[in-house]
């Protein structure tokens, strides 16, 4: 099966999933209950809206269903809104697992799903192909494997880029710490130190989510930082750079994570002369002419979904999940899906710089690459045409 054209390509209906998934000696996946039940727990209402991730997953499943399903089996997909409330998130997971009897979770994207429900998923032996891992528990659970790099590995990767490409000698890191993320960010810096053999010049874990940033930019200047790495999101990115400009600070490269990579940030900082970089989770979504994005763009346009990094995550989660269950010979159950995810081989996809795998392990953080974007005159341009791939940590 050509997985680059599985969802919306014109000949999809004629692909005959039964023929491609089955062989003379294997029946392929079957669904005695009439459908394969899958779910997602995502933050949709509340302080953040990650709905575009599971909506892209749903678009992929809907297209598959319209073409007759996987070997005749259609996907019954349910999205639960956890409202960024731990109690609601816990109830959403229980409803999907116990009442709807999902075989797996696919395309979830939440502020707290992983932290709240990882133990439940492990206990119930149901696995989650996370469309967007956000909190630290998404990358430290045996039952969850995100298809995105995530803020912690991306912090290591951006530090690696600063050292290897920008030749930074005095890397400084300023992190906002929310919930239980402190140890994950400290580990990201420790991993960078192991990979590069350098020591962090300054590590500050007190950066505020709101408030005056002047003391922090002055601290970076006075400490002699030649590169500053931070995990701020869109409004704080703009505030930080405007504060840097107001203080007339020069000679520092400013390194941000994926939340900085937005058109709004680019427009807001169009007049800044600061060297500003942002890491991506997948192939840069603004590169609409990139071959790696071609099928995703065609599929999302046909589904009426926006072209965002969030939709890349949901789309990739669906593709990877379908690729795995395509190889099941017999009923698609929670047990058979779990076994298939445990036994799978790594999946390579043009959208990502690293192969994705679930496998049986205590933790899962398979995605270890980024393409770095640079802000130039109000637009993001690709700084690294090839993915920056992190070496393994010894």
Check whether residue 351 and residue 381 sit in a common domain.
no
Co-location of 29 and 104 in the same domain: yes
Look-up of token digits 């989510």: 209
**Residue 202: phi, psi to the nearest 5?**
-155, 130
Tell me whether residue 3 is in a domain. Answer: no
Question: What is the Cα–Cα distance from 391 to 195, expressed in whole angstroms?
Answer: 7
127-165: pLDDT as tens digits = 999 999 999 999 999 999 999 999 999 999 999 999 999
CATH number at residue 223: 3.40.50.2300
Q: Output phi, psi for 144, to 5 deg.
A: -135, 130
Question: 4 in a domain, yes or no?
Answer: no
Q: Cβ distance 127 to 141 under 8 Å?
A: no
| pLDDT digit string, tens, across residues 216-228 | 999 999 999 999 9
Q: What is the SS3 string spanning 225-282?
A: CCEEEECCCHHHHHHHHHHHHHCCCCCCEEEECHHHCCHHHHHHCCCCCCCEEEECCC
Sequence-ordered alpha helix ranges (H) in the chain: 17-21, 52-66, 86-94, 113-124, 150-164, 182-196, 214-223, 234-246, 263-268, 294-303, 309-325, 334-343
Are residues 77 and 216 both part of a single domain? no
Q: Tell me what pLDDT residue 27 has.
A: 79
Asked if the structure places residue 331 within a domain, the reply is yes
Alpha-carbon distances of 227 from 192, 206, 244, 252, 263, rounded to whole Å: 14, 18, 13, 5, 23
Helix (H) or strand (E) holding 129: strand 128-129
Answer whether residue 2 is part of any domain. Answer: no
Within this chain, do residues 46 and 15 fall inside the same structural domain, yes or no?
yes
Do 225 and 260 share a domain, yes or no?
yes
Q: What is the pTM of this model?
A: 0.92
Let me know whether 93 and 130 are in one domain: yes
**Residue 347 DSSP label:** B
Distance of CA 138 to the CA centre of its chain: 10
Looking at the structure, do residues 18 and 53 belong to the same domain, yes or no? yes
Domain match, 139 and 60 both: yes
Q: What is the pLDDT of residues 29-82, one digit of tens each?
A: 999 888 999 999 999 998 999 999 999 999 999 999 999 999 999 999 999 999
Say whether both 377 and 256 belong to one domain: yes
- The answer to whether the beta carbons of residues 207 and 232 sit under 8 Å apart is yes
Q: And the tokens for 133?
A: 């891992």
Do 142 and 21 reside in the same domain of the chain? yes
For residues 208 and 249, state if they share a domain: yes
Count of domains for the chain:
2
Q: Are 173 and 226 in contact (CB under 8 A)?
A: no
Range of the domain at 232: 150-280+371-389
Query: Residue 388 and residue 242: Cα distance in Å, rounded?
Result: 28
Q: Given a cut of 70, is residue 237 above it in pLDDT?
A: yes
């Amino acid at each position: 099966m050509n997985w680059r054209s599985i969802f919306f390509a014109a000949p999809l209906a004629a692909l005959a999933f039964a023929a491609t998934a089955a062989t003379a000696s294997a029946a392929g996946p079957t669904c005695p209950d009439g459908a394969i039940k899958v779910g997602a727990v995502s933050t949709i209402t509340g302080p953040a809206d990650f709905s575009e991730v599971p909506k892209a997953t749903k678009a992929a499943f809907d297209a598959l269903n319209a073409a007759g399903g996987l070997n005749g089996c259609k996907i019954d997909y349910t999205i639960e809104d956890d409202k960024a409330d731990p109690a609601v998130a816990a109830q959403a997971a229980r409803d999907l697992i116990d009442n709807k009897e999902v075989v797996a979770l696919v395309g979830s994207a939440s502020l707290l799903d992983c932290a709240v429900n990882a133990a439940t998923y492990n206990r119930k032996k149901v696995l989650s192909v996370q469309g967007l891992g956000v909190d630290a528990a998404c990358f430290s659970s045996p039952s969850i494997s995100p298809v995105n790099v995530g803020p912690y590995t991306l912090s290591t990767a951006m530090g690696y880029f600063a050292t290897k490409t920008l030749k930074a000698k005095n890397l400084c890191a300023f992190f906002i710490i929310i919930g239980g993320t402190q140890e994950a960010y400290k580990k990201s810096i420790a991993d960078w130190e192991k990979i590069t053999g350098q020591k962090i010049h300054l590590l500050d874990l007190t950066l505020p989510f709101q408030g005056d940033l002047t003391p922090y930019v002055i601290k970076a200047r006075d400490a002699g930082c030649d590169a500053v790495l931070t995990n701020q999101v869109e409004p704080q990115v703009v505030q930080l750079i405007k504060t840097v400009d107001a203080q007339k600070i020069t000679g520092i490269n400013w390194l941000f994570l994926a939340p900085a990579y937005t058109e709004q940030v680019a427009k807001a900082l169009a007049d800044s002369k600061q060297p500003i970089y942002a890491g991506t989770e997948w192939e840069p979504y603004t590169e609409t002419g990139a071959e790696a994005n071609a099928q995703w763009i065609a599929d999302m346009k046909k589904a009426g979904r926006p072209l965002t990094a969030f939709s890349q995550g949901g789309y990739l989660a669906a593709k990877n999940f379908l690729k795995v269950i395509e190889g099941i010979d017999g009923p698609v159950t929670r047990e058979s899906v779990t076994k298939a995810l445990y036994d799978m081989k790594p999946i390579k996809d043009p959208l990502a710089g690293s192969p994705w795998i679930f496998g049986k392990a205590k933790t899962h953080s398979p995605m270890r690459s980024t393409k770095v974007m640079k802000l130039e005159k109000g637009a993001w341009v690709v700084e690294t045409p090839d993915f920056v791939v992190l070496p393994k940590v010894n």
